[in-house]
């Protein structure tokens, strides 16, 4: 099937860099030989979640927090295993400093909610004419927590925070980030293993996709190949951001039509999920022969990754990693700081259950690097009106320093190793 026939099949939804959820059957036929790299992946179990709650207990005690309220999202999955969604009808978990747990949910949702907890938790129900935060307040009151400090996970919506404060007038509602971040920022060996598999899948999907790229293809064409390969390899495709030509100069792309052209940049930023844990890898190369300028910028950006990795020492404030990269780029004439042409975004972000999570490798971030922390390393260089180069690999901190999840590209001619 020609590129034109593929494009006609897929439709015209590829005008932006982010590939839409288009059918991949056109490209799926040649994925049959790809191995399922996630076949041996072990999901997070009850013992690990109980260890997380034990750590949360310690952090609550250290921060004088009596209980913690968590809405649906990655933190709810992290502590309880409950996969739910946010709506105007509150479902939430409450953890206490003594290690007790409760899940509050609408009465008609109780049977479904009871199916999913990965820990032992009391289920508190409320009817449509009742206040769910009153149920939370009553449950905490029975445990002597009607006064004192009650933490909320930092993404909890205002109506829940306000409702909790009104239902517990004797308590002080505070930010629960010291507890949640204190747990989630430091990944366990089981979490690292799942992230490693997700990274392996993404790299394998890249190696499958790259040789199949042809002149005239759109971002959606390429994204469909990548998505089909990721699924065949055992991952859940999280995103495919494909930027072609000038669009690569803008970190999240352009709404203008794009197509693969000889001598122009192809920037791919893709990720997969395995049992909830994510990868995030970017590769940039040139379709055809790269120019001297493209090679120079690629090499400088690739060195930027090495500068960041070398600066990521145990005990170093996360912001110092970003500072090191900017000093290197400024010595080459890029910037200064976050100005363009140069790198207009942070050097990296935290990653785990969320593609972006605290903390970031960004100027001024004081959090010190410690074992178990995981980051992207992607100090891209962008030249508006021309092209951009972004290479991204993630690493995690060990007891002896940083270690790559995926090995960086060796050269512009061998972007996938």
Average pLDDT over residues 106-122: 92
Q: Beta strands of 148-223 (E only): which ranges? A: 148-152, 171-175
- Can you give the pTM of this predicted structure? 0.93
From the number of C-beta atoms within 10 Å of its C-beta (0-12, 13-18, 19+), residue 175 rates as middle
d(CA 287, CA 261): 7
| Distance of alpha carbon 151 from alpha carbon 174, whole angstroms | 5
> What mean pLDDT is predicted for residues 124-150?
97
User: pLDDT tier at 116 (50, 70, 90 boundaries)?
Assistant: confident
Tell me the average pLDDT of the chain: 93
At 318-351, the pLDDT tens digits run: 999 999 999 999 999 999 999 999 999 999 999 9
Domain ranges of the chain: 3-33+187-404, 46-184
* Pick among 1.20.1250.20, 3.40.50.1110, 1.20.810.10, 3.90.230.10: CATH of 3-33+187-404: 3.90.230.10
pLDDT in tens, 8-25: 444 433 334 444 444 444
The domain defined by 46-184 folds into Creatine Amidinohydrolase; Chain A, domain 1 (3.40.350)
- Residue 117: pLDDT band (50, 70, 90) is confident
- pLDDT band, residue 368 (cuts 50/70/90): very high
The 10s digit of each residue's pLDDT in 162-215 is 999 999 999 999 999 999 999 999 999 999 999 999 999 999 999 999 999 999
Q: What is the pLDDT of residue 30?
A: 87
Alpha carbon distances (Å) from 95 to 15, 69, 158: 46, 7, 19
Do 3-33+187-404 and 46-184 come out as alike in CATH topology? Answer: no
Token digits for 307?
């500068």
pLDDT at residue 5 in the model: 46
Q: What is the pLDDT of residue 16?
A: 41
In the predicted model, what is the mean pLDDT of residues 381-385?
Answer: 97
């Amino acid at each position: 099937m020609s590129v034109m026939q593929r494009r006609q099949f897929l439709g015209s939804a590829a005008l932006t860099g982010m590939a839409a959820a288009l059918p991949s059957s056109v490209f799926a036929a040649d994925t049959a030989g790809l191995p399922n790299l996630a076949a041996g992946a072990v999901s997070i179990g009850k013992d690990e979640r109980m260890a997380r709650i034990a750590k949360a207990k310690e952090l609550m005690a250290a921060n004088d927090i009596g209980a913690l309220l968590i809405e649906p999202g990655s933190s709810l999955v992290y502590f309880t295993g409950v996969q739910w969604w946010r709506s105007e009808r509150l479902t939430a978990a409450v953890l206490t400093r003594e290690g007790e747990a409760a899940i509050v949910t609408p009465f008609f949702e109780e049977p479904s909610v009871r199916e999913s907890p990965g820990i032992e938790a009391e289920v508190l129900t409320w009817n449509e004419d009742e206040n769910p935060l009153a149920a939370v307040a009553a449950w905490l009151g029975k445990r002597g927590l009607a006064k004192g400090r009650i933490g909320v996970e930092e993404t909890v919506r205002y109506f829940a925070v306000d409702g909790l404060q009104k239902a517990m007038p004797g308590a002080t509602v505070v930010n629960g980030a010291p507890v949640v971040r204190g747990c989630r920022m430091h990944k366990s060996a089981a979490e690292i293993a799942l992230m490693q598999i997700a990274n392996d899948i993404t790299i394998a999907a890249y190696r499958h996709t790259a040789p199949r790229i042809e002149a005239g293809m759109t971002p959606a064409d390429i994204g469909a190949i990548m998505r089909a390969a990721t699924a065949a390899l055992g991952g859940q495709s999280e995103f495919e951001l494909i930027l072609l030509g000038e669009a690569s100069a803008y970190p999240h792309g352009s709404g203008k039509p794009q197509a693969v052209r000889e001598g122009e940049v192809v920037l791919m930023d893709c990720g997969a999920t395995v049992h909830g844990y994510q990868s995030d890898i970017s590769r940039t190369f040139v379709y055809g022969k790269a120019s001297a300028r493209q090679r120079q910028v690629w090499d400088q950006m690739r060195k930027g990754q090495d500068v960041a990795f070398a600066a990521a020492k145990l005990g170093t404030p996360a912001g110092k990693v970003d500072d090191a990269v900017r000093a290197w780029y400024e010595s080459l004439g890029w910037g200064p700081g976050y100005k363009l042409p140069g790198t207009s975004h942070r050097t990296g972000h935290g990653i785990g259950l969320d593609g972006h999570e605290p903390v970031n490798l960004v100027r001024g971030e004081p959090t010190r690097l410690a074992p178990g922390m995981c980051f992207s390393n992607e100090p891209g260089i962008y030249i508006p009106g021309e092209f951009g180069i972004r290479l991204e690999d993630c690493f995690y901190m060990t007891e002896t320093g940083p270690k790559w999840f995926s090995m960086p590209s060796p050269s512009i001619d061998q972007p996938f190793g």
